[in-house]
Amino acid sequence: MKTPEQLKTAVDKRRTFAIISHPDAGKTTITEQMLLFGGVVREAGTVKAKKSGNFAKSDWMEIEKKRGISVTSSVMQFDYQGKRINILDTPGHEDFSEDTYRTLMAVDSAVMVIDGAKGIEPQTKKLFQICKMRGIPIFTFINKFDRDARDPLDLMAELEDVLGIQSYAMNWPIGMGRGLKGIYDRFHHRVALAHPEDGEDPYIPLDEDGEIPADNPLHEDSIWQDTLDEIELISEAGNTFDEDKIATGDLTPVFFGSALTNFGVQTFLETYLNYAPKPSAHKTEDEQTVEPLSPEFSGFVFKIQANMNPNHRDRIAFVRICSGEFDRGMDVTLQRTGKSLRLSNSTQFMADTRETVETAVAGDIIGLYDTGNFQIGDSIYTGKQDIKFEKLPQFTPELFVRVNAKNVMKQKSFHKGIDQLVQEGAVQLYTSYSTGDYILGAVGQLQFEVFQFRMQNEYNSEVVMETMGHKVARWINPDQLDEHMSSSRNILVKDRQGAPLFLFENQFAENWFKSKYPDVELMSKL
């Protein structure tokens, strides 16, 4: 066990964050550069190779192999400049799931990567909104400036207009694409050259007026004057650097660069680490706060990953440690059941391996091998005080399927499987009022595939799923419900708690309903 001083030193070093982006913006590339700085991988391409499924040492579940999703890189830990960094993966594409959202509940800050040619894309926006809701600091890296990109001023404006967050440019590109000369680093008061000559120092300090030395070839380049004009413009018309606003997620520091050519990434990481928060207090359901330096251990389960190793049919519960220290073999109370559990089988995730973890502290993520004890959102703790962390938010599903057992004789295993997987948070379950049909809801297609796979593998129940496609889910006050409101353009269902909701065909159907029943309030969440 650590002394209080040792615990403080260890916790203060932790920086736990997620990188959010739309697929292809460069999240994998930038993660990999960071791992290179941390000395975790020695070669560029290691994480990427895994992503594309070329990695030989794989023990992922079949479906993941097929899709090339790397589960071992769900959490990556490394040390850099005296800090212990935990990067949590937020998968993109069809791998997008409720887990992706929940992962953001386990981090203390986020890095948002944006493709400089595309600007803000839909998935970035969705993930951003969760970070915003949590009020955590968000740092922005606008990527791919080694290619032609959009006007930086436009991109800055888009952050404010589309995401509604103030922005402060920490640096500014000097040209772009083939003409990218470097980056004007407002924060370190220097220019970083994109293509330094052999042996040339890539960092050129600026004088008090922000000018580059007159003997530098850039001094006479028209692009330099353009850059200075733009810097003047953003200095006068833009926001000021405000640490308090960064801390509350009201202002995002913006960096331009190129992950692929590793230009601007290191400065970004170092500056980010300066401002990224250390683990902070977590709220409980009864409005108490749990401080990270509390001597008692506590944490919550934010993700359950099943079948990481198909030979062992194991499940791993990912726990964010909120306070104190974890020691392998310790006994904790599982809040939901009040039962005591010994945590002897634990793991931690490095970029390319999983290793048994002996100790970890607040801010860290550990994986607990689970034989069915845990559910998503569970709190665990040591000590006498009952700790129940705030509920993880529910995310409104957008995709729906009707589900049945293929073999009607196997109803028992079908129901058991559905019950457990729904409890675990793998998918949402609804029941049709009129037919009693089971309908599953998810935010990403992969959730259904994982569900189908696990039903077969873990419960020996083959399921048939009939796609219902996108729907708009809207809850309704039960007192206002009249079953006649159901029409061909919507389906009336109840959720797991018995609360009624409509699944509308589309926005048009919802609007039509609203005009027909103006007094009925439709809610996107309960």
Positions touching ligand G4P (CB under 6 A) are: 21, 23-29, 48, 92, 143-144, 146-147, 258-260
Report d(CA 38, CA 32) in Å as an integer. 10
25 is in an annotated binding site: yes
Least CB distance from residue 113 to ligand G4P, whole Å? 6
Between CA 471 and CA 96, with CA 457 as vertex, the angle to 5 degrees is: 35
Amino acid of residue 520: V
- Rg of the chain's alpha carbons, rounded to an integer? 25
Cα atoms in the 13 Å half-sphere on the side-chain side of 350? 13
Question: Has 188 been labeled as part of a binding site?
Answer: no
Three-state DSSP string of 111-158: EEEEECCCECCHHHHHHHHHHHHHCCCEEEEEECCCCCCCCHHHHHHH
Q: Using CB atoms within 10 Å of the CB of residue 62, give its burial: 0 to 12 exposed, 13 to 18 middle, 19+ buried.
A: exposed
Greatest CA separation found in the chain?
A: 84
CB of 48 to ligand G4P, least distance (A): 6
Q: Which is nearer to ligand G4P, 89 or 325 (CB)?
A: 89
- Residue nearer to ligand G4P on the CB measure, 48 or 494: 48
In terms of CB distance, is 143 or 252 closer to ligand G4P?
143
Distance in Å, CB of 93 to ligand G4P, minimum: 8
**27 has binding-site annotation:** yes
26 is in an annotated binding site: yes
Task: State how far the Cα of 102 lies from the Cα of 260, in Å rounded to an integer.
Answer: 29
Looking at the Cβ atoms of 92 and 299, the one nearer to ligand G4P is 92
Is 21 flagged in the annotation as binding?
yes
Minimum distance between the CB of residue 468 and ligand G4P, rounded to whole angstroms? 28
| Residue 93 marked as a ligand binder | yes
**Side-chain half-sphere CA neighbours of 122 within 13 A:** 3
> E strand or H helix at 452, and its extent?
helix 445-459
Instruction: Name which of 24 and 296 has its Cβ closer to ligand G4P.
Output: 24
Q: Which is nearer to ligand G4P, 134 or 147 (CB)?
A: 147
- The response to whether 92 counts as a known ligand-binding position is yes
Q: Is 78 annotated as a binding residue?
A: no
10 vs 107 by CB, closer to ligand G4P: 107
User: 48 burial class (0-12, 13-18, 19+ CB within 10 angstroms)?
Assistant: middle
Q: Which is nearer to ligand G4P, 14 or 144 (CB)?
A: 144
For residues 134 and 202, what is the distance between their CA atoms, to the nearest angstrom?
38
Q: Is residue 506 marked as binding?
A: no
**Alpha-carbon gap, residue 465 to 440, rounded angstroms:** 9
Q: Are 313 and 307 in contact (CB under 8 A)?
A: yes
Least Å distance, CB 175 to ligand G4P, is 15
Q: Does 181 carry a binding-site annotation?
A: no
- 3 state DSSP class of 502: strand
Q: Cα–Cα distance between 170 and 372 in angstroms, integer?
A: 47
Q: Smallest distance from the beta carbon of 145 to ligand G4P, in angstroms?
A: 7
Report how far apart, in Å, the C-alpha atoms of 139 and of each of 30, 108, 311 are. Answer: 13, 12, 40
Tell whether 91 is in a known binding site: yes
Question: For residues 108 and 135, what is the distance between their CA atoms, to the nearest angstrom?
Answer: 10
**How near is the Cβ of 124 to ligand G4P at its closest, in Å?**
10
Q: How far is the C-alpha of 72 from the C-alpha of 89, rounded, in Å? A: 10
143 assigned binding-site residue: yes
Residue 22 assigned ligand-binding role: yes
What the block records as the tokens of 262 is 């590793």
Q: How far is the CB of 444 from ligand G4P (least distance, A)?
A: 15
Q: Report in angstroms how near the CB of residue 190 gets to ligand G4P at its nearest.
A: 21
118 is in an annotated binding site: no
Contact, 111 vs 124, CB < 8 A? no
* C-beta closer to ligand G4P: residue 145 or 297: 145
Closest approach of ligand G4P to the CB of residue 34, in Å: 12
User: Which residue, 47 or 493, has its beta carbon nearer to ligand G4P?
Assistant: 47
For ligand G4P, give the closer residue by CB, 48 or 278: 48
The sheet with strand 399-405 has its strands ordered as 463-470, 399-405, 438-442, 428-432, 490-494, 500-504, 472-476, 522-523
Q: Which helix (H) or strand (E) holds 247?
A: helix 243-247
Task: Give the three-class secondary structure for 167.
Answer: strand
Supply the minimum distance, in Å, between the C-beta of residue 27 and ligand G4P: 3
Among 145, 155, 183, which residue's Cα sits nearest to residue 259? 145
Residue numbers belonging to the annotated binding site for GTP? 21-28, 89-93, 143-146
Q: Which residues are annotated as a binding site?
A: 21-28, 89-93, 143-146
